[in-house]
Amino acid sequence: MRDNTIKDYLYGRIEGDTLYFWGGCLTLQWPAKFQWKEKAFHSAWHALSYALACDLGNTRMRQQLLTKHSIDGAKRYFTRHIGEASPDLDLESIASSILLEREQQHAYIKEELNKFTDLELVYCGDDVIGIGLPFWHKDVLDSSKWKHDNDLGRWLHAIRDNYHNR
């Protein structure tokens, strides 16, 4: 059970039973180096974009994602090219695998996710994996006004529900 005295979270806000967040170690841009599929990545954005580059057969971008540290560049590649992905690309499974591997290598990420066990997680990112609204915006409370589908929030829920507390 969460501490009811928590009103504001460093990277977002808690309203009722929901954490509306925009940053911190739960996001893909958190710079936590980790290994996934025997490759080293600077952030989860790098790994997710790498998976997309593999799907698209973009060897130049795969190499850049392994050697360059621009998180914005990795995010921009993913956002611009996700619409070109093959129908066989199982983004949810890939993202869950990346997020799980990252939290296994960085225990504090799992601890952070477990702080909010009772809460729905809504990622207020301006990218395609968030809701497309800032956490402070009045419309975050109305999911019908979201620009995107809260993919990161859904992926984090899946990890918490399926892999934690085992």
Helix axes 59-67, 71-81, angle to 10 degrees: 150
Query: Closest by alpha carbon to 50, among 90, 17, 78?
Result: 78
- Radius of gyration of the chain measured on its C-alpha atoms: 16
Q: What is the pLDDT of residue 127?
A: 80
How many residues belong to the chain? 166
Phi-psi region of 75 (alpha: psi -120 to 50; beta: other; left: phi over 0): alpha
Q: How far apart are CA 24 and CA 39, in angstroms?
A: 23
What is the token pair recorded at 78? 């993913």
pTM, two decimal places: 0.89
Q: Which residues of the chain have pLDDT under 50?
A: 1-7
Q: What is the pLDDT of residue 86?
A: 97
Q: What is the pLDDT of residue 4?
A: 43
Q: Where are the domains of the chain?
A: 34-93
Q: How far apart are CA 76 and CA 78, in angstroms?
A: 5
In this structure, are residues 26 and 112 in contact, taking their beta carbons and an 8 Å threshold?
A: yes
What is the sign, positive or negative, of the torsion defined by CA atoms of 14, 16, 20, 26? Answer: positive
Q: Which amino acid is at 120?
A: E
Residues 6+ apart with CB under 8 A from 48: 28, 74, 78, 94, 95, 98
The count of C-alpha atoms lying within 13 angstroms of the C-alpha of 85, restricted to the half-sphere facing its C-beta, is 20
The secondary element (H helix, E strand) that includes residue 20 is strand 18-21
Q: What is the pLDDT of residue 166?
A: 53
Q: What is the pLDDT of residue 69?
A: 87
Q: What is the pLDDT of residue 8?
A: 53
Q: What is the pLDDT of residue 2?
A: 43
Q: What is the pLDDT of residue 164?
A: 74
